[in-house]
């Protein structure tokens, strides 16, 4: 669903004008897919608040986003 929305936004040129951030139901298991669909970044609440180790969840997500952007260069 998100990738369909991102594809539509890209076709209309929105992603080139305004950075798009993925939000809603994002976690370490799908964050890369959200970024690959064209999101400039991710916003998470449940993935951190519901984690047994919230600090570890933040570190994992941050590392995932950083790796994605490094690979995209």
- List pLDDT tens digits, range 16-33: 667 888 889 999 999 999
CA nearest neighbour of 72 among 50, 40, 45 = 40
**20 C-beta neighbours (distance < 10 Å), count:** 19
pLDDT score at 18: 75
pLDDT score at 20: 81
Q: Are the beta carbons of 43 and 26 closer than 8 angstroms?
A: yes
pLDDT score at 7: 65
- φ, ψ of residue 41 to 5 degrees: the values are -165, -175
pLDDT score at 10: 61
pLDDT score at 40: 87
Q: Which two tokens stand for residue 34?
A: 């959200």
Residues in the chain where the model's pLDDT stays below 50: none
Look up the pTM and report it.
Answer: 0.78
């Amino acid at each position: 669903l998100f990738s369909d929305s991102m594809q539509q936004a890209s076709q209309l040129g929105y992603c080139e004008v305004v950075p798009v951030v993925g939000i809603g139901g994002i976690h370490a298991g799908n964050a890369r897919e959200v970024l690959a669909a064209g999101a400039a970044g991710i916003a998470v609440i449940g993935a951190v608040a519901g984690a047994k180790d919230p600090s570890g969840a933040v570190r994992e997500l941050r590392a995932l986003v950083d790796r994605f952007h490094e690979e995209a260069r």
